[in-house]
Structure 1
Amino acid sequence: MSDSDKYQVEEPELAPDDPMRNFLPTSFGKRSKEANIATQIEQSRRQVEAPVASKKAASGTDSDSDSDSDDDDSDDSEDEDKFPVSHELVLHTHDRAITTVALDPAGARMLSGSLDGTVKFHDFAAMTPTTLRAFKSVDPWEAKKSSNAPDSHPIQHIAFSPLSGSVFLCITAHPQAKIMSRDGDVLTEFVKGDMYLRDMNNTKGHVGEIAAGAWHPTDQNICVTAGSDSTLRIWDVNNKRSQRDVIAFKSKVVGTAGRTRMTAVAWGAPAQGGNPVLVAAALDGSLVMYSGNSPFNRPTAEIRDAHKPDTWTGGVDISSDGRMVVTRGGDGLIKLWDTRKFKEPLVKVEHASTSDRFPMTNIKYAPNSSCIITGSASGHLHILNPGNLRVELVTPVTPGAPLIVVDWHARLNQIVTGSANSETHVLYNPTMSTRGALEVMTRAPKKRHVDDDPAFTMDQSAGISADSIITPGAIQGTKRGGVTASGKSRDPRRPQVQQITPFMRSQPDEKHISENIPLSRMLHEDPREALLKYADIAKKDPKFTGAWKSTQPVTQYAEISDDEADGGPNKKVKR
């Protein structure tokens, strides 16, 4: 072949949709770290084949023409624009089914509770498309777990305070509820009642497992809990030693001895002002309503057969105007009630229940009560009309895994769901939603490193990375055990541990005693001095002898001489 001959080198050609193109460079030189926001948001679009529109499902009409198929596509697009369900963010932070989710009023922090007994903390401001994880995991009962305790208590319900969001109510499968800070610190642990008392009005707290709870709609210091001891207890977060009010519900079902388990509770109030409404459901099928703040001597209205007896009614919610109540029972029915005519349901529809496996399955009103959302046993999200409970949209979230808990945040306009396959989904729409998951997808992805997760790459005992090179004798040879005479550890890598002496162990906290133990200030008070303070008052105005004060004779004593005072000659001498 001569030099003048022309030859051509064949280059491999890739299809435009070939996934290998993502790994091939598109240009030479240093790349820009700026994120392609449009591409990242498009990657989070949900791959839903055929969402079910409400009008089609309600009317049950079928079309055979091509024009009708075009109408179906337009209806699907309209549903995506109407509800924030077009895109999603998926979090895998739990090991077992997720039973509750909560977002603070600002929408910056999200909490999720699970059957694994942990509460996971997520900050939208700290996550990127490649670092979708919780920054903190808290076990509310870690400090009180014994060495032989196998598991923690499952998380039943968590809810941020509706006004400030600085604290949240944490309810586990235990008689004691907790008030925790937004950073996971236990601020208040409500007292447990005396299980040997028959009258539940005389106990200071629950004596059975707590199933649900709710915050007061206008007072951030008041909350309510519903327990298996047939009581609703209203608490003041500043007083943990006793509840503020007790509502002892008396069941009218024969054979229950007047007791039943309270399964769900909701507390709402009109947005324009008015008396709050407290609604609770019981295991005997009853639905009870209380109006006002206190006292709760008798219910405003009570329905005995609201749902089938001995089925768990786990979902109760009140509309934003305080007039409508929606319940989801274990009998496979969703019912709509009017608080002004609290006798018969306005509408009821069939909906498969999951309360046999997950009794904490809920149902929620959307912001401004524009619709109602709930999950299903098939893993679909159902959006219902608030007036007639007709289906407006059914979209799969976790197909095959029951959708347990749902929530719709008003400020973010995003829907958060928790499923039995331990997945948390945040549904949003780029044109309708603000911040939250949308803010996460607009950030540049963080470059992942092997040391990003210290639980897998750090030797916790030595405090070094697992892939680091250790010089023989450099670290391991200098390890020394024991402590010095001053209590300082001989190991230079170990922090100094405070020495616990018998005196320090028995020394009480004076501030804790003064705040929590009544009349503790009398501990160091002289009883004689305390009684003498009332000597003059008792002499001037006797309380117990005042009835015969004017008729009491004057005591007269015989006069004795000095010799008699000294003993006198007749005094016997001791021998």
Structure 2
Amino acid sequence: MDPNKVEEASDSEDGEMASVMGFSGFGKKARTFDLDAIFETTRRTAIERSQRILEERQNDTQMEEEGESSKSAKSSVHTQRDKAAAAASSRKQESDSSSDSGSDSDSDSDLIGPPLPPQHTAQDDGNELMRPPPAPGSTAHSDEDDDEEEEDDDDDDDDVCNPVKKIPDTHEITLTHGTRTVSALALDPSGARLVTGGYDYDVRFWDFAGMDQALQAFRSLQPCECHQIRSLQYSVTGDVILVISGNAQAKVLDRDGFNVMECAKGDQYIVDMAKTKGHTAMLNSGCWHPKIKEEFMTCSNDGTVRTWDVNSEKKQHKSVFKPRSFQGKKVVPTCCTYSRDGKLIAAGCQDGTIQIWDRNLSVHTKFHCRQAHIPGSETSCLAFSYDGVTLASRGGDDTLKTWDIRNFKKPVNVATGLTNYFSMTDCCFSPDDKLLVTGTSVKKDEGNGKLVFFDRTSFQKVYEIEVTNSSAIRCLWHPKLNQIMVGTGNGLAKVYYDPVKSHRGAKLCVVKSQRKEKQAETLTQDYIITPHALPMFREARQRSTRKQLEKDRLDPKKSNKPEPPVSGPGRGGRVAAHGGTLSSFIVKNIALDKTDDSNPRQAILRHAKEASENPYWVAPAYTLTQPEPLFAEESEEDEEADKEPEWKKRKI
């Protein structure tokens, strides 16, 4: 059958259906495509594209051999790309015209059906070969901008190749903690607050956002009374602080310094330290778990490493790890730390060993190096790298070593000659894990303490910073702020930063001007002077000082003139005569009295005649009713009895 007739029949059926349903038609006619023409156009486009790519590669190799500049190379590439883009646009127009030849003229405004493959192919070609036009309000990229971008890329490449350029040491600020050694240093995870502790028992809180150029701490306290602060650390969330002191009990403080928890103290009379609730001797170090915010760890001179839980009601330890020497004897751990994933617990001991346990198995060590440092030297710090493979140890034998925990028998690298006089000298990794930092100690007036930087792979000393004329003990490189904090032996805490490479932290307080001190308001009496006041209300003019003193001298009250001696009988409680003293009065009136009171009966009878003639007290009351007294008369028997000797008288 003829296809034209079939199409006419279908059109007549559509017209009848449209008239029955009550509308004019079924819309515009769909476009038709010639598939052979489309495939041919796509094949040609692919061939031309491959040819252009080959030509560009050949041109690039020729330009490299001839040593032409990058700017000329870019211009040639741009011209070739422009030509290719023009050719692609012409091909696009041809394909559009060829595809539109079989369609209706009014179908260009509103297309029905799937998009044209050649059109999209041409658009893809244009996107790859031509740059997009600039957005409204923006400027187009020029060759100079490209050169600047290349220079920036080169600088970034240099920074990647040379990690020394990433050390932020162009600027520094000094925080004065006190006059004694700063033995503890901690920054919260956000980098907003710094905490320092020292041998003066003080813990000081510093807020970078709240400080001005005066650089004053906003709070100072002594959480452990008269015990030196040995370690401070913020938890993972930054809401509490672990305080390790010379006491046997660790404390946990909140961000404002208020007490949250105090660990229990163990019984020092129990031999097995695992049976006690807590430590029985001075603490050496402690740290928080990197993943569990409630768990922390401490080590002590009682020869144990203990883990704790802040929320524990009994305040006793969770688990106990007991380091042992080669002979199985007790060893004192001097420092301890968690691995980055929190699965391992490492401790450096006084016998020079480094012992590592699995956190869930507290009996036997998982890794044990028996000659990590010289026996008897205190290993001051252990630090895991960010990738969790390398362990750095700072020894009391003036060395810094790195270890691969996958092969823990021998150190990977060793650096010697790093003087260490303190049992808490730090070492830490840089945020990009390419550098290792530690501090050196000096004696008084014998040089400057330094902060030494080592390359992690080659372990060459690549940089050093002279901190101050005292030992550099604590060091901390915060990854978020990109700032380095150092605690020194003369009571200072230094912060090193770079205005370009560092963020917030010390940059917030150095831009604030120092606040003026508010003067205390004092109330003063104002004198009101009236020129026409009465003389009685006028204030006397102040005369010369000499005349005023002479006047006061004549005044007995102001000059405190002593009273003259009493003449006469005396007055006002004062006694005169014979010197006017109390002793002379007693001698005159009592001691020299001639009356003899040795016979009390005669002394009383002296007043009998006067009492009978002139009664005054008792007798007048009984004058009417009192009978006359009758006295017994003496007989002869009584007289004879009186004459008998004393030894014959009957005792009554």
TM-score bracket, shorter-length normalisation? 0.5 to 0.7
Residue 487 of structure 2 is aligned to residue 414 of structure 1: no
Give the total of aligned pairs. 360
Give yes or no for contact 1:245–1:295 (8 Å, CA) kept in 2.
no
Give yes or no for contact 2:403–2:413 (8 Å, CA) kept in 1.
yes
Residue 348 of structure 2 is aligned to residue 251 of structure 1: no
Q: Residues of 2 paired with 1:192 and 1:470: CA distance? A: 58
Q: Residues of 2 paired with 1:396 and 1:206: CA distance? A: 39
Sequence identity (%): 32
- CA pair 447-174 structure 1, distance change in 2 beyond 3 A: closer
Q: Residues of 2 paired with 1:363 and 1:102: CA distance? A: 14
Q: Residues of 2 paired with 1:213 and 1:86: CA distance? A: 32
Task: Determine which structure has more spread, i.e. the larger CA radius of gyration.
Answer: 2
Q: Residues of 2 paired with 1:125 and 1:416: CA distance? A: 16
Aligned twin of 2:228: 154
Residue 207 of structure 2 is aligned to residue 207 of structure 1: no
Aligned twin of 1:438: 507
Residue 304 of structure 2 is aligned to residue 235 of structure 1: no
Aligned twin of 1:394: 464
Aligned twin of 2:223: 140
Match of 1:405 among 474, 496, 503: 474
The AA in structure 2 aligned to 1:139 is Q
Q: Residues of 1 paired with 2:228 and 2:490: CA distance? A: 16
Residue 351 of structure 2 is aligned to residue 269 of structure 1: no
Residue 356 of structure 2 is aligned to residue 285 of structure 1: no
- By how many angstroms is 1:450 displaced? 6.6
Aligned twin of 1:95: 179
Equivalence map 1:547-566=2 (5 Å)? none
The AA in structure 2 aligned to 1:379 is G
- CA pair 470-262 structure 1, distance change in 2 beyond 3 A: farther
In structure 1, the residue corresponding to 2:330 is in which secondary structure? coil
Give yes or no for contact 1:80–1:86 (8 Å, CA) kept in 2.
no
- CA pair 471-230 structure 1, distance change in 2 beyond 3 A: farther
Residue 421 of structure 2 is aligned to residue 348 of structure 1: no
Match of 1:197 among 258, 262, 270: 270
Give yes or no for contact 1:79–1:393 (8 Å, CA) kept in 2.
no
Give yes or no for contact 1:93–1:133 (8 Å, CA) kept in 2.
no
The AA in structure 1 aligned to 2:476 is D
In structure 2, the residue corresponding to 1:416 is in which secondary structure? strand
Q: Residues of 2 paired with 1:341 and 1:79: CA distance? A: 27
- CA pair 345-108 structure 1, distance change in 2 beyond 3 A: same
The AA in structure 2 aligned to 1:339 is I
In structure 2, the residue corresponding to 1:438 is in which secondary structure? helix
Q: Residues of 1 paired with 2:339 and 2:256: CA distance? A: 27
In structure 1, the residue corresponding to 2:406 is in which secondary structure? helix
The AA in structure 1 aligned to 2:224 is W
- By how many angstroms is 1:241 displaced? 2.4
Once superposed, what is the RMSD of the aligned Cα atoms?
2.1
- By how many angstroms is 1:471 displaced? 7.2
- By how many angstroms is 1:203 displaced? 1.0
- CA pair 222-368 structure 1, distance change in 2 beyond 3 A: farther
Aligned twin of 1:41: none
- By how many angstroms is 1:282 displaced? 0.4
Q: Residues of 2 paired with 1:133 and 1:394: CA distance? A: 28
Match of 2:426 among 345, 359, 362: 362
The AA in structure 1 aligned to 2:211 is M
> What's the CA shift string for 1:405-464, capped at 9, x where partnerless?
000111110000010111111100011001011121223x1243275xxxxxxxxxxxxx
> What's the CA shift string for 1:350-373, capped at 9, x where partnerless?
032323xx2111111122423111
Aligned twin of 1:373: 437
The AA in structure 2 aligned to 1:225 is T
- CA pair 87-79 structure 1, distance change in 2 beyond 3 A: farther
The AA in structure 2 aligned to 1:277 is L
Q: Residues of 1 paired with 2:368 and 2:515: CA distance? A: 59
Q: Residues of 2 paired with 1:305 and 1:469: CA distance? A: 74
Q: Residues of 2 paired with 1:403 and 1:185: CA distance? A: 30
Aligned twin of 1:220: 293
Q: Residues of 2 paired with 1:281 and 1:393: CA distance? A: 27
Match of 1:127 among 207, 211, 236: 211
Q: Which has the higher helix share?
A: 2
Q: Relative contact order (C-alpha < 8 Å, sep 6+): which is higher?
A: 1
Match of 1:428 among 493, 497, 518: 497
Aligned twin of 1:383: 453
- By how many angstroms is 1:258 displaced? 1.1
Q: Residues of 2 paired with 1:311 and 1:469: CA distance? A: 65
> What's the CA shift string for 1:479-525, capped at 9, x where partnerless?
xxxxxxxxxxxxxxxxxxxxxxxxxxxxxxxxxxxxxxxxxxxxxxx
- By how many angstroms is 1:469 displaced? 5.5
- By how many angstroms is 1:383 displaced? 1.2
In structure 1, the residue corresponding to 2:266 is in which secondary structure? coil
Match of 1:177 among 247, 250, 259: 250
Give yes or no for contact 2:428–2:437 (8 Å, CA) kept in 1.
yes
> What's the CA shift string for 1:507-566, capped at 9, x where partnerless?
xxxxxxxxxxxxxxxxxxxxxxxxxxxxxxxxxxxxxxxxxxxxxxxxxxxxxxxxxxxx
Give yes or no for contact 1:381–1:396 (8 Å, CA) kept in 2.
yes
Q: Residues of 1 paired with 2:274 and 2:432: CA distance? A: 37
Aligned twin of 1:555: none
Q: Residues of 2 paired with 1:387 and 1:469: CA distance? A: 71
- CA pair 288-140 structure 1, distance change in 2 beyond 3 A: same
Aligned twin of 2:635: none
Match of 2:400 among 321, 334, 353: 334
Relative to the length of structure 1, the TM-score reads 0.60
Aligned twin of 2:44: none
Give yes or no for contact 2:399–2:417 (8 Å, CA) kept in 1.
yes
- CA pair 198-84 structure 1, distance change in 2 beyond 3 A: same
